[in-house]
Amino acid sequence: MKIVVGLGNPGRKYAGTRHNIGFEVVRVLAERNAGDRWQSKFDAETAEIQIGSQRLVLVAPQTFMNLSGRSVRSVVNFYKVPLADLLVICDDMNLACGRLRLRASGSAGGQKGIQNIIDQLGTPEFPRLRIGIGRPDESVGTVNYVLQTFAKSERPLIDQAVDRAEAAVEKWVRDGIESAMSLFNRSEDAES
């Protein structure tokens, strides 16, 4: 079993915002893999899917971004999975809009949901998939920026990024983190 966590903020108010890109990816994974039965548990919405012979639990914490670790710790403890079998998906302002970056472990990089997960698990040693949302210009603060919906001109790029993120998760499940990193961490120029 593997656990895939998409980070975001609960409620309609935050649907479609930059901070909720992780939620978008787990929803797409559920839709495309017959996991449309969502349940409330572990302070999260969860669904189970199958990719090949591998069972996955999809998790969308409902604790708000900065407290995501509580939900993640509960799921990991319940299923007793090694942290190598946990993948966390989140937004990243340090990446160009639509760019993906997979890592086997690492720092929070300023992402407060990831930081809270590190704090709750007591280690940064778990895989994560970051999706670039770009940087705000100086007139827009960070908080306002991450809580904005994507501009109409950005939406095709983000939809493409969500599709690629879903494919990256499937690659991680089937072939492991190193293989997924080598395929999905390439620059846009290399992918063309």
User: 24 catalytic, yes or no?
Assistant: no
Inter-residue contact 191 to 163 (CB < 8 Å)? no
Global pTM? 0.93
The set of residues, in sequence order, having a beta carbon less than 8 Å from that of 111 and lying 6+ positions away, is 90, 91, 92, 130
Residue 89 domain boundaries = 2-191
User: What string of pLDDT tens digits covers the 192 residues of the chain?
Assistant: 999 999 999 999 999 999 999 999 999 999 999 877 999 999 999 999 999 999 999 999 999 999 999 999 999 999 999 999 999 999 999 999 999 999 999 999 889 999 999 999 999 999 999 999 988 888 888 888 989 899 899 999 999 999 999 999 999 999 999 999 999 997 543 343
CATH number at residue 65: 3.40.50.1470
Q: Annotated catalytic residue: which of 19, 27, 101, 128?
A: 19
Distance CA 23, CA 114 (A): 14
Work out how many domains the chain is built from and give that number.
1
